[in-house]
C-alpha cells in the first residue's frame, strides 16, 4: 500500500512507482502542516415543498498543502453541494446551512458577509463548476472575462499584464490558437473547450486551494491527460491543494492522493488512494469499484449496484447504505455507524469495523 | 432496417471569430464540419466519436438544421431539408429531437417536470388533457413515477433529469434522436441504466439515433456502427465492435483506443496511472496547425509517408464494412 511504499526510492529502479511515491511522501509531509481547508460536521439541507433534503448531513474532512483529495460517489450523494458550501454558494432558500463550519486558512467562511466572501471566492478558493458553459458569462468574450477576473483579484495588474497572464493560462490548459479563443464568446466554443476555459479562469486567480467539480467529464482522453497533468503539476510546484469531485476512477487513479467516498450526504470511507482502490473496506466502496465497467463487456453485462439510493427526504435511521448492502445486519437498521479509524488516516463508516467488536469480523446478527 | 433515414452529402460548416466592432478583423476560422458524407440507416444507432472540438455537436446541429450549413445537402426520410424555410421545417422538427449532455440544458428549471414534458405537446397544439395523459405515459416509459411530476427538475438527480429530458424529447413521437453526450456527466452505474433505457426505447419505438461521445468505450456499448471524427472530417466508419477491437486509422488506434485506466477481470490495469503515461497521451493529443493539403492527421501521425502531406485521403473501403480515410488503406488498383 502507498503508505508503506512511500519512502522508497523516488528515483532509480522504482521510477515507475514515482507517482505513488510522491503521493505517499506528500501525504506524510502534509500531515505536519496546518490544514488549508477544514470542513467540520457540515450540514447543508434544502427545504423543498416535498420535505427537507439532507443533501450534506455531517461531512468533515481536511485538506493540506500537497493533497489532491478526490471526492467520489453516485450522483445525488452531495458532492456538489459540499463544494458549493465551501464557497457559501448554495442558493438560500431553498438551501440552509444547518450546522457545522468551513475554515479556509483559518477563516470561518459560513459566517462571513458578502464583501468578505468576494475575497474568498476566486482568490482563496478557486472553483471549476460542473456545468462548464453555465459558469461563463454568455455576453462577454473569453478574453475579457479572463482579464476582468485577473484584475479583480490582483488590482495592481495592468491590462497588458493581465492579458499576458490570460494567454498563459489558456496555453496551459491546452489551447494553441490563443488569440482565437480570447476573442470567442462561450457559445462559439465546444463543451470541452468551455470546461478548459473554466479551469484557466480559476487558475489565473492564483487561489490557495482549487475545487474542481467533474473537471474532465466533457473531455476526450488526450485533453483529459493534459488537464490532469496540469493539475498535478500545479499541486506539486505551487503546493496548491486540490479537491477533485469525480465519478471517474481513472481520474482518481491518475492524480488523487486521498479519496473520500460519499453516499447519501455522508462520507462513508476515507483514506489513501491506493489503499482504497485496491482494498476497499466499506461495502459501498467495494460495490462502487465493482461497478466500474470492464471495457469488454456489454451494457447488458453491467453490474450496477442493485437498488436505489435512499430518498434524501426520508433518510433511514441506521446506516444509509443498509437497503443495498450485502452484509447488512440487525444493528445496521437501527444505529447510524460512526466513522471508525481502521488504520492510519483510514476511516470507515460501517459497523463491521467497530473496534469493540473486532475489525471486519463483527458478528452479523 | 432497410434504407437510409438520413443522407448527408458534402456537408460543410465554418465559423469565423472576429475582433473589433467596426473594422471586423477575422482572428480565426474553424472548419467545424468539413465535406462530410454520411448515411444513417433507418432503425440504427450510429455512434460518433472524436476529440473535443472535432465537430460532433456541429454535425448533429446541422442535421437538425439548428444551424445552417455553408455547403452540402441533407436528406431526411426522402425529403431534401436544404433550402426549406422555417415554416416548412416545422412539421419535420417533430420527427427530429435532441438530448444534451447536461439534462438541465434541455429542461426549464422554473417549470415542473410535468410542464417540461407537456411543453412540446402543447406547442404543437395537443389539447391540454391529452397532453397530461401523454406526459404520464412518457414518464412511465422512462422509468419515472408520474405522480411525482409536480416536482422541479433540480429536485431530481442527474440520472433522473436525463430520463426527463429523454421523455421530453420523445413527446412528439420523433423518428430520429440526436443524443449529444447524453451520459458523459453521469456516473458509471447511472450511465449503464441510461444506456439500457436508450437501447430499450430505440428497439421498442423503432427509433434512429445519432449518439455522440468522446469516449469510444461508451459508444461501443450502444451503437451498431461508429464513425470517428477529427477536425471536422470522418476518418473511420465501421461496425462499432470492430472499430473498438481492431481500429484501423492511425488516429483511432493511437488516440481513441487509449484509456486512462481500465478494470479488467476485477484488477486495475495501469493504463495511465503513471505520470509518464499522461505525458505520453499528452504528446499524442498535441494539436498541430491544420494542414492546408494532405491528411488532416499528418501532423501527429507516426505512420505518415510520402503521399500524406500532399493528398487528402478520401474514405477508402478497407474491408467489407470498414471505411478508412488514410493512404495506408488505398486499394492497390487505385494506387499510382
Ligand atoms: N457558433 C460558433 N461560432 C464559432 N465557432 C464555433 C461555433 N460553434 C462551434 N464552433 C467551433 O467549431 C468547432 C467544433 O465544435 P463542436 O461543438 O462541434 O465540437 P465537439 O466535437 O462537439 O466538441 P466537444 O466534445 O468538446 O463538445 C470548435 O472549434 C468550436 O469552437
Ligand atoms: N437547489 C436545490 N434545491 C433542492 N435540492 C437540491 C438543490 N441542489 C441540490 N439538491 C439536492 O441535494 C442532493 C445532493 O446533490 P448534489 O450535491 O448536486 O449531488 P452530487 O453528488 O451529484 O454532486 C440531491 O438530492 C439534490 O437533488
Ligand atoms: S453498517 Fe451495515 S449496512 Fe452499513 S455498510 Fe456496514 S454492514 Fe452494510
Ligand atoms: S494518411 Fe498518412 S498521415 Fe494520414 S493517417 Fe494515414 S498514414 Fe497517417
Ligand atoms: Mg454534482
Ligand atoms: Mg460537443
Long-range contacts of B106-110 (CB under 8 A, 24+ apart): B106/B165, B106/B168, B106/B169, B107/B153, B107/B161, B107/B164, B107/B165, B107/B168, B108/B153, B109/B152, B109/B153, B109/B154, B110/B152
Q: Which one-letter DSSP state was computed for residue B254?
A: I
Q: How far is CA A212 from CA A35, A42, A277, in A?
A: 18, 19, 21
CB pairs under 8 A between A and B: 185
In this prediction, residue A159 carries a pLDDT of 86
Strands B79-80 and B71-76 come out as: antiparallel
Q: Listing from the earlier edge strand, what are the strands of the sheet with A242-245?
A: A125-128, A209-213, A242-245, A68-72, A258-263, A266-272, A346-348, A340-343
Nearest to A295 among B104, B187, B259 (CB): B259
- Which residue of B273, B282, B289 is in closest CB contact with A229? B282
pLDDT over 70, % of chain A: 86
Contact B52 A249 (CB under 8 A): no
Contact yes or no for A304 and B258 at CB 8 A: no
Three-state SS for B65?
coil
Q: Are B8 and B71 in contact (CB under 8 A)?
A: no
**Reported ipTM:** 0.75
Residues 132 through 191 of chain A touching chain B, CB cutoff 8 Å:
133-134, 174, 176-177, 179-180, 183-184, 188-191
Once rounded to an integer, what is the mean pLDDT over residues A74-100?
90
- Digit-by-digit pLDDT tens for chain B (336 residues) are 459 999 999 999 998 877 766 667 777 788 899 999 999 999 999 999 988 888 999 999 999 999 999 999 999 999 999 888 888 888 888 999 999 887 777 889 899 999 999 999 999 899 999 999 999 999 999 989 999 899 888 878 778 889 999 999 999 999 999 999 998 877 776 788 889 899 999 999 999 999 999 888 889 889 999 999 998 999 999 999 999 889 999 988 876 656 565 566 656 555 444 445 555 555 555 455 566 789 998 888 889 998 999 999 999 999 999 999 999 999 886 544
CA angle A257, B279, B216 (to 5 degrees): 90
User: Strand B176-180 vs strand B208-213: parallel, antiparallel, or unpaired?
Assistant: parallel
Residue B168, phi then psi, degrees to nearest 5: -65, -40
How far is the C-alpha of B230 from the C-alpha of B54, rounded, in Å? 5
CA–CA min distance B190, chain A (Å): 8
Q: What is the pLDDT of residues A301-344, one digit of tens each?
A: 556 677 777 887 888 889 999 999 999 999 999 999 999 999 88
| pLDDT of the residue at A363 | 46
A187 lines ligand 1 (CB under 6 A): yes
C-beta neighbour count of A360 within 10 angstroms: 13
Sorted by sequence, the CB contacts under 8 Å of residue A126 that are 6+ apart come out as A202, A203, A205, A207, A209, A210, A211
CA distances from B115 to B127, B136, B140, B151 (A): 13, 11, 15, 10
CA atoms within 13 A on the CB side of A302: 25
Q: Are A211 and A128 in contact (CB under 8 A)?
A: yes
Contacts of B307 (CB under 8 A, 6+ apart): B294, B313, B327
CB contact under 8 A, A222 and B51: yes
Prediction pTM value: 0.82
pLDDT of residue A12: 38
Residue closest via CA to ligand 4's atom 7 equals B304
User: pLDDT value at position A303?
Assistant: 60
Indicate if ligand 1 lies below 6 Å from the C-beta of B313.
no
Q: How far apart are CA B283 and CA B7, in angstroms?
A: 36
- In the prediction, which pLDDT does B22 show? 66
Contact A58/B at CB under 8 A: no
Whether residue B36 has its Cβ less than 6 Å from ligand 1: no
Average pLDDT, chain A: 83
* A356/A358 Cα distance (integer angstroms): 6
A156 CB contacts (<8 Å, ≥6 apart)?
A: none
Within 2-61 of B, beta carbons closer than 8 Å to A belong to 15, 17-19, 27-28, 30, 50-53, 57
Supply the pLDDT for residue B273: 46
B105: Cα within 13 Å, side-chain hemisphere: 18
| Higher per-residue pLDDT: A45 or A205 | A45
Reference B187, options A167, A80, A195, A225; nearest CA is A80
Which of A 242-261 lie inside 8 A of B, CB atoms?
247-251, 253-254
Confidence (pLDDT) at A15: 39
pLDDT at A263: 94
Please provide the size of chain B in residues. 336
Q: A8-35: per-residue pLDDT in tens? A: 433 333 334 444 444 444 455 445 578 9
A171-195: b (≥16 Cβ within 10 Å) or e: ebbbbebbebbbbbbbebbbbbbbb
Residue A202 has which C-alpha cell?
Answer: 480559476
Of the candidates B62, B49, B77, B72, which has an alpha carbon nearest to the alpha carbon of residue B208? B77
Higher pLDDT, A335 or A49: A335
Of A173, A158, A271, give the one whose Cα is nearest residue A219: A173
- Which ligand does the CA of B297 lie closest to? 4
Asked if A236 has any chain B CB less than 8 Å from its own CB, the reply is no
Q: How far apart are CA B304 and CA B291, in angstroms?
A: 13
Kindly report the nearest CA distance between residue A356 and chain B, in angstroms.
Answer: 32
Residue-wise pLDDT for B186-226, tens only, equals 777 678 888 989 999 999 999 999 999 988 888 988 999 99
Helix then strand then coil, % of chain A, to nearest 5 = 40, 20, 40
Ligand 4 atom nearest residue B327's Cα: 1
Question: Ligand 3 pocket check: which of A285, A286, A329 to mutate, most ligand atoms within 8 Å of Cβ?
Answer: A329
Going by their DSSP bridges, the two strands B262-264 and B176-180 should be labelled as unpaired
Nearest ligand, measured from the Cα of A360: 3
Q: Which residue of A has its CA nearest to B261?
A: A250
Chain A residues with CB-CB distance to B195 below 8 A? 299
Question: What is the number of alpha carbons within 13 Å of residue A361 lying toward its C-beta?
Answer: 2
Q: How far is CA B225 from the centre of its chain?
A: 12
Quickly tell me which residue has 430520429 as its cell: B176
Largest CA distance in chain B: 68
Give the Å distance between the CA of B320 and the centre of ligand 6.
30
Residue B282 · residue A226 · CB < 8 Å:
yes
Element (H, E) at B259: none
Instruction: Please name the residues between 199 and 258 in chain B that touch chain A, using a CB distance below 8 Å.
Output: 199, 214-215, 217, 221-222, 255-256, 258
The three three-digit cell numbers of residue B60, written as one number? 448533429
Q: Would you call A294 and B274 a contact, using CB atoms and an 8 Å cutoff?
A: no
What's the 3-state SS for B194-218?
A: HHHHHHHHHHHCCCEEEEEECCHHH
pLDDT tens, A243-295?
999 888 888 888 899 999 999 999 999 999 989 988 999 999 998 888 776 66
A174 CB within 6 A, ligand 1: no
Pocket flag, ligand 3, residue A350 (CB < 6 Å): yes
The Å distance, Cα B229 to ligand 4 centre, comes to 14
The verdict on the CB of residue A46 being under 6 Å from ligand 3 is no
Residues in B touching A222 (Cβ below 8 Å): 51, 255, 258, 281-282, 284-285
Of the residues A179, A182, A190, A215, which should be mutated to test ligand 1's pocket, given the most ligand atoms within 8 Å of the CB? A190
CB of B327 within 6 A of ligand 4: the answer is yes
- Residue A333 Cα: closest atom of ligand 3: 3
**Cα A130 to averaged position of ligand 2 atoms, centre (Å):** 12
- For B:154-183, CB contacts with A below 8 A are 155, 157-159, 181
Amino acid at each position: 500500500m502507498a503508505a508503506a511504499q512511500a519512502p522508497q526510492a523516488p528515483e532509480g529502479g522504482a521510477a515507475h512507482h514515482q507517482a505513488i511515491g510522491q503521493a505517499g511522501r506528500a501525504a506524510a509531509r502534509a500531515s505536519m502542516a496546518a490544514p488549508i481547508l477544514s470542513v467540520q460536521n457540515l450540514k447543508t439541507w434544502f427545504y423543498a415543498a416535498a420535505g427537507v433534503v439532507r443533501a450534506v448531513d455531517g461531512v468533515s474532512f481536511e485538506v493540506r498543502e500537497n493533497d489532491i483529495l478526490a471526492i467520489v460517489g453516485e450522483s445525488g450523494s452531495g458532492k456538489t453541494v459540499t463544494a458549493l458550501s465551501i464557497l457559501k454558494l448554495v442558493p438560500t432558500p431553498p438551501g440552509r446551512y444547518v450546522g457545522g463550519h468551513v475554515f479556509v486558512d483559518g477563516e470561518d467562511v459560513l459566517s462571513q458577509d458578502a464583501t468578505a466572501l468576494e475575497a474568498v471566492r476566486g482568490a482563496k478558493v478557486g472553483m471549476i463548476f460542473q456545468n462548464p458553459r453555465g459558469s461563463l458569462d454568455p455576453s462577454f468574450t473569453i478574453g475579457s472575462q479572463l482579464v476582468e477576473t485577473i484584475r479583480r483579484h490582483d488590482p495592481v495588474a495592468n491590462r497588458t499584464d493581465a492579458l499576458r497572464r490570460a494567454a498563459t493560462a489558456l496555453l496551459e490548459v491546452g489551447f494553441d490558437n490563443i488569440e482565437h479563443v480570447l476573442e470567442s464568446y462561450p457559445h462559439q466554443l465546444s463543451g470541452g473547450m468551455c470546461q478548459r476555459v473554466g479551469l484557466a479562469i480559476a487558475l489565473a486567480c492564483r487561489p490557495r486551494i482549487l475545487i474542481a467539480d467533474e473537471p474532465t467529464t466533457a473531455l476526450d482522453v488526450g485533453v483529459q491527460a493534459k488537464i490532469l497533468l496540469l493539475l498535478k503539476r500545479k499541486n506539486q510546484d505551487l503546493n496548491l491543494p486540490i479537491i477533485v469531485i469525480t465519478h471517474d476512477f481513472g481520474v482518481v487513479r491518475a492524480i488523487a492522493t486521498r479519496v473520500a467516498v460519499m453516499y447519501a450526504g455522508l462520507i462513508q470511507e476515507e483514506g489513501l488512494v491506493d489503499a482504497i482502490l485496491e482494498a476497499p473496506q466499506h461495502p459501498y466502496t467495494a460495490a462502487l469499484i465493482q461497478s466500474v465497467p470492464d471495457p469488454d463487456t456489454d451494457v447488458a453485462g453491467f453490474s450496477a449496484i442493485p437498488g436505489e439510493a435512499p430518498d434524501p427526504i426520508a433518510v433511514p435511521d441506521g446506516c444509509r447504505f443498509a437497503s443495498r448492502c450485502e452484509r447488512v445486519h440487525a444493528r445496521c437498521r437501527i444505529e447510524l455507524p460512526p466513522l471508525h479509524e481502521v488504520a492510519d488516516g483510514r476511516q470507515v463508516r460501517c459497523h463491521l469495523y467497530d473496534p469493540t467488536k473486532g475489525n471486519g469480523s463483527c458478528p452479523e446478527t | 432496417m432497410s434504407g437510409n433515414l438520413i443522407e448527408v452529402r458534402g456537408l460543410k460548416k465554418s465559423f469565423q471569430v472576429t475582433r473589433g466592432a467596426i473594422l471586423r478583423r477575422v482572428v480565426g476560422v474553424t472548419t467545424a464540419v468539413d465535406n462530410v458524407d454520411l448515411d444513417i440507416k433507418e432503425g440504427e444507432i450510429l455512434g460518433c466519436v472524436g476529440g473535443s472540438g472535432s465537430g460532433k455537436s456541429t454535425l448533429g446541429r446541422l442535421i437538425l438544421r439548428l444551424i445552417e450549413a455553408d455547403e452540402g445537402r441533407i436528406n431526411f426520410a426522402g425529403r431534401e431539408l436544404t433550402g426549406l424555410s422555417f415554416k416548412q421545417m416545422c412539421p419535420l422538427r417533430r420527427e427530429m429531437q435532441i438530448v444534451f449532455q447536461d439534462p438541465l440544458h434541455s429542461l426549464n428549471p422554473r417549470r415542473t417536470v410535468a410542464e417540461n414534458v407537456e411543453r412540446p405537446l402543447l406547442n404543437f397544439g395537443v389539447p391540454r388533457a391529452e397532453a397530461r395523459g401523454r406526459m404520464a405515459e412518457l414518464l412511465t416509459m422512462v422509468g419515472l413515477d408520474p405522480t411525482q411530476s409536480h416536482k422541479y427538475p433540480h429536485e431530481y438527480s442527474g440520472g433522473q433529469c436525463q430520463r426527463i429530458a429523454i421523455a421530453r424529447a420523445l413527446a412528439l413521437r420523433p423518428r430520429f434522436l440526436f443524443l449529444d453526450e447524453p451520459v458523459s456527466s453521469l456516473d458509471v452505474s447511472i450511465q449503464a441504466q441510461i444506456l439500457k433505457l436508450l437501447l430499450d426505447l430505440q428497439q421498442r419505438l423503432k427509433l434512429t439515433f445519432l449518439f455522440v461521445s468522446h469516449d469510444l468505450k461508451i459508444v461501443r456499448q450502444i451503437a451498431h456502427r461508429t464513425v470517428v471524427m477529427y477536425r471536422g472530417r470522418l476518418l473511420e466508419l465501421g461496425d462499432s465492435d470492430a472499430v473498438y477491437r481492431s481500429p484501423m486509422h492511425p488516429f483511432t488506434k493511437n488516440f481513441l483506443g487509449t484509456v486512462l485506466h481500465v478494470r479488467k477481470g476485477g484488477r486495475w490495469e495501469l493504463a495511465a496511472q503513471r505520470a509518464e503515461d499522461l505525458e505520453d497521451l499528452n504528446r499524442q493529443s498535441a494539436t498541430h496547425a491544420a494542414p492546408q493539403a494532405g491528411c488532416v492527421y499528418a501532423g501527429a501521425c507516426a505512420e505518415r509517408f510520402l503521399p500524406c502531406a500532399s493528398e487528402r485521403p478520401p474514405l477508402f473501403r478497407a474491408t467489407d464494412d470498414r471505411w478508412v480515410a488514410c493512404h495506408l488503406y488505398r486499394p492497390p488498383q487505385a494506387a499510382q
